[in-house]
Structure 1
Amino acid sequence: MKHNPAAAKQLEIEKKDERNMAIVNRAKAKAYDMMVFVFGALITAWALMDLDLTMVLLLVCAYLFILGYGTDYRFKRFKEM
C-alpha cells in the first residue's frame, strides 16, 4: 500500500462503496437469521440429551442475550429513521 497509492485509493473506494456495504449487511443478516434457528435447535438437542444443566443454562443465557441485543439495536435503528 505504501508503494502503490493508486491501489490503496482503489481499495478504500471499494470498502466505502454503498453496493459492497449493502451486500455485506445482507450477508450478515442472513447469517444472523440462520444462527438463531441453528443455535436454538442445538440448545434443544443438548437439553434433551441430559447435558449438564449449568451448560444448558449458560447457552440459553447467551442465546437470549444475542436475541435481546438484536432487538434493542433494531429499535434504536427504527427510532433514527
Structure 2
Amino acid sequence: MNKSEIVCDTTILLYLGRMSHIDLLPALFEPIVVPQTVMLELDAERLLRPDTINPRTLDWVASVEVTSSEMSALPPNHLGGSERSG
C-alpha cells in the first residue's frame, strides 16, 4: 500500500492519543509531519492533562517550523495558528 503524507494538527494528535489509537497514523501515512506550533499547543495541554501525547517522543514524527511568511501566504480564515500551519 502506498502511503500519503500527512501534516497533523493538534486535534488529530490529541484525540488519537486519548483514544490510544495514535498507532493508526504511521499505519496509514508516511511521512507524518507536525508543525512546531502544534507541538507547543500540546505542551500547553500537558500542563492541564499530563496524559496528553508528546509527539517529540514518537520516532516516526517529523517536526517542521512554519515561517510567518508561509502563514501569511495562506488565505484568510478563522483557524488558530496550529491549524493554519498544518
The structure richer in helix per residue is 1
Larger radius of gyration: 1
TM over 0.5: no
TM-score, normalization by structure 1: 0.22
The structure richer in strand per residue is 2
